[in-house]
Amino acid sequence: MSDYYLEAKNISKTYVGVQALSDVSLSIRSGEVHCLVGENGSGKSTLIKVIGGVVQPDSGRIVIRGREYQRLQAIDAIREGIEIIYQDLSLYPNLNVAENIAFNQTIESNSRVVNWKNVRLIAQKALEELGESLDLTERVENLSMSQKQIVAICRAHTQDCKLLVMDEPTSALTREEVDHLFSIVEKLRKTGVAVLFVSHKLSEVFEIAENVTILRDGRKVGEFKASELDNDTLIYHMTGQKIRYTPYEYDPQGSQPPALEVRNLSKAGQFQDISFKLAAGEILGITGLVGSGRTELALAIFGLNKPDSGTILIDGKEVQIRSPQEATRYGIGYLPEDRLNQGLFESQSIGDNIIVTIITRLLNKLGIIDRTSKSNAIGKWISDLKIKTPTSEASASSLSGGNQQRVVLAKWLATDPKIFILDGPTIGIDIGSKRNIHQIIRDLASRGIAIVIISDEIPEVLRNCNRVLIMMSGRIVKEYEEVSEVDEKDVVAVFSHDQPRGAVK
């Protein structure tokens, strides 16, 4: 019998003339953490759906524990112990934690009456076996993303899971939550569960994977031991090109007052005594761990989180920003961390998403939107930001993550901001799209826009900012004036120190 729990052999799949997969093979052993990486459109999602029996390949076969399937069905995959946690987690938000965890077992019991005591026992046992603790009566819609992940994993665990497939599980998690998730994965691995981990975040690949399979344009580039790869080599295999970052160089323009200045800004329990200056054309990075207060600070500047004290100045003049509308009038744009829930109207068209911030500018004398002005504005930003879509009438949900992010960028750039705050600008975006977003940000700065990048990805701020602030427990604890002289280890060392005295709890 083969040493492998699962072998996908020579899988090919075509959708309406598009070759999603071409002769792709993948093998994974019990107790192994195997990463599947590739850019958007590389075939990752199709491959995991084939493994889960959701999609039937045109050719190829699946072998599970030595048993060969020519046409693996979803029920076969479940019976073999294959569980897939997709990006949306497929939970029931209106049900509580216990009901979600025990849902599949409750259905399989085929009973007309639900044994609620048994539901709670199943859920509690699953949580305890993973060393987790959640309120069984809490509705899932009220949980954090990290807690929802735990619920999804526990549900899979109740199904005697042998292979857990996780599709981009960390895209909306903080660093601390990622560490916690990895500890759960390690517990599963030690019990013999195989884990197939799909991620865009390359640092996570090296952190968690034993082996890595790389796809590009529907083909398998290769399978490697994680120890055989480094960041540049992995990027090259994924993209087919060498992506080099050169430090962003800020060129001061005269002695104008700062585009944005924050003086002693504080809010109880969130951030305290925050002061910094930001000049036109600068890219300032702000990084920090969970609870550092970085997002709360950004929301305060944008009028969504009123501070208790302190001063905000725009072009040297003190301002009161009580709402996003006032922030926009002062020339501030804000790209939120959660683009799907806060940045986009997914069901609306791409065009409508782009012009939503400038509708009043497009009205004619009768108070009706001028179609020509609307069309010109939409066309300009689709062209300028290279948004890949056959039509502006397509829904925003039809776009890839990278193109959705371009739409959110376009929405705020249409307001002609002088100051642009970007919170997690490349979360959940593949390597090539990240590079494109970073170049757009640099181009904006070169036009004189003052930029703030907030990110927990240290390489992102070091590669794209001329100056970096580190926040811990609501305070700025370190400032790097010359980012070109700093490496990731320097920043990690700051994070590893104890809480600064007097930090916000």
Q: How far, in Å, are 344, 353, 404, 427 from residue 347 at the CA level? A: 9, 10, 12, 21
**Measured between alpha carbons, how far is 232 from 206 in angstroms, rounded to an integer?**
12
**Measured between alpha carbons, how far is 288 from 389 in angstroms, rounded to an integer?**
35
**Measured between alpha carbons, how far is 18 from 424 in angstroms, rounded to an integer?**
32
Chain-centre distance of CA 220, in angstroms? 24
Per-residue model confidence (pLDDT) at position 353: 87
**Where do the domains of the chain lie, and which CATH numbers do they carry?**
6-239 (3.40.50.300), 257-331+419-505 (3.40.50.300)
Residues 45-80 pLDDT 10s: 899 999 999 999 999 999 999 999 988 999 999 999
**Measured between alpha carbons, how far is 483 from 494 in angstroms, rounded to an integer?**
15
User: Residue 462 in contact with residue 439, Cβ under 8 Å?
Assistant: no
Mention every residue, 6+ apart, whose C-beta is less than 8 A from residue 496: none
**Measured between alpha carbons, how far is 7 from 483 in angstroms, rounded to an integer?**
46
Q: How does DSSP classify residue 418?
A: S
Per-residue model confidence (pLDDT) at position 109: 67
Name the pTM for this structure.
Answer: 0.71
List b or e across 241-269, with b for residues whose CB sees 16 or more CB atoms inside 10 angstroms: eeeeeeebebeeeeeeebbbbbeebbbee
**Measured between alpha carbons, how far is 220 from 234 in angstroms, rounded to an integer?**
13
Residues 357-403 pLDDT 10s: 888 888 888 888 888 888 888 988 888 888 888 888 888 888 876 78
Q: Which residues does the chain have with pLDDT short of 50? A: 1, 498-505
Q: Which helix (H) or strand (E) holds 454?
A: strand 450-454
Transcribe 87-139 into DSSP letters: TTTT--TTSBHHHHHTHHHHHHTT-SS--HHHHHHHHHHHHHHTT----TTSB
User: Residue 340 in contact with residue 346, Cβ under 8 Å?
Assistant: yes
The one-letter code for the residue type at 225 is K
Sheet harboring 82-85: ordered strands across?
82-85, 163-167, 194-198, 33-37, 211-216, 219-225
Q: How does DSSP classify residue 448?
A: T
